[in-house]
Amino acid sequence: MFNQNKDLIYLPRNRFIWFVLTFVAAYVNVGGFFAVHQFVSHVTGLLGHFGVYAGQGKIPQAIMALLVPFSFLLGAIFTGLFTDVRRHVNKAPIYYHLPLINSFLYFFVVIAGTKGLLGIFGEPFENYVDFITAVILSFSCGIQNALFTSFSGAVVRTTHMTGLMTDLGLNISQMISGQATPEIKRNVKLKMELIFSFCLGGIVGSYLFVSYEFMAFISPAVVCLLISMRFMFDRWGRK
């Protein structure tokens, strides 16, 4: 389905996958904000919170704020063990179970949240159940971002926009100065599509999480399940 052939990255069927996953990333990020007042894929901001809490002497909150981005890192490491590490030792990367794990995590948040095991939806990030929610969501974002960064050869990142905006700015400057190649132009188009998708995911997530709270995590759970099935069918088709 996906590999690091850059021409395949821009195929319409694959562009649709990038669009959907960027939508999901923003949706989950907004869900984390509404659930526990934390943007779960925004590692820069999370480390900033650690500094604020530590500076105020709020050590328990500082530790929790530090462990949330660490869980993002663990998610990326977990993905790398099944993708880039296997590729390095001349083994085929394994993909399908990674979105399946994310689907399981989101379904777990739905079930545990609706049963009251994850605290009150929308309460401040102050106790261990809020911490658990943030860690689960951040871990899942780390898995997704590393997975599709690996697929696309670092062209596509779906869970945060900082690097994408930086690349887009550089590409636009190249276009302004007349240095744009066809590759740069299609990169700009793809990045603008991803930014639009991220904004759209945030808007839709804002509405659904206010209305349905933890139940709204069903949407990314189903999407990740479908992506996993797509990987499975593709893997079987190559055998």
Residue 151 has pLDDT above 70, yes or no: no
Cα separation, 2 vs 147, whole angstroms:
11
Q: Total structural domains in the chain?
A: 1
In a domain, 5, yes or no: no
Q: In which domain, by residue range, is 227 found?
A: 30-152+198-238
What is the chain's mean pLDDT, rounded?
85
In a domain, 79, yes or no: yes
Whole-number pLDDT of residue 117: 94
Q: Residue range 91-100: average pLDDT?
A: 78
Q: Residue range 178-201: average pLDDT?
A: 86
Residue 5 has pLDDT above 70, yes or no: no
In a domain, 183, yes or no: no
Which is more confidently placed, 115 or 11? 115
Whole-number pLDDT of residue 83: 78
Whole-number pLDDT of residue 89: 67
Whole-number pLDDT of residue 1: 43
Cα separation, 32 vs 35, whole angstroms:
5
Q: Residue range 104-127: average pLDDT?
A: 92
Q: Sorting pLDDT into bands at 50, 70 and 90, what band is 102?
A: very high
In a domain, 50, yes or no: yes
Cα separation, 26 vs 193, whole angstroms:
14
Q: Sorting pLDDT into bands at 50, 70 and 90, what band is 85?
A: low
Which is more confidently placed, 85 or 148? 148
Closest Cα to residue 223, out of 132, 158, 152, 130? 158
In a domain, 140, yes or no: yes
In a domain, 160, yes or no: no
Among the residues of the chain, which ranges form H helices?
6-9, 12-36, 43-55, 59-82, 84-88, 97-114, 128-151, 162-176, 182-212, 218-238
| Residue appearing with tokens 């999901």 | 24
Residue 16 has pLDDT above 60, yes or no: yes
In a domain, 229, yes or no: yes
Q: Residue range 86-95: average pLDDT?
A: 68
3-state secondary structure of 229: helix
pTM of the model: 0.87
Which is more confidently placed, 40 or 205? 205
Cα separation, 106 vs 6, whole angstroms:
31
Residue 154 has pLDDT above 60, yes or no: no
Q: Residue range 22-29: average pLDDT?
A: 93
**What number of other Cβ atoms are within 10 A of residue 151's Cβ?**
22
Residue 48 has pLDDT above 80, yes or no: yes
Q: Sorting pLDDT into bands at 50, 70 and 90, what band is 2?
A: very low
Which is more confidently placed, 174 or 114? 114
Contact at 8 Å (CB) between 29 and 41? yes
Give percent of the chain above pLDDT 70. 86
Cα separation, 158 vs 154, whole angstroms:
10
In a domain, 52, yes or no: yes
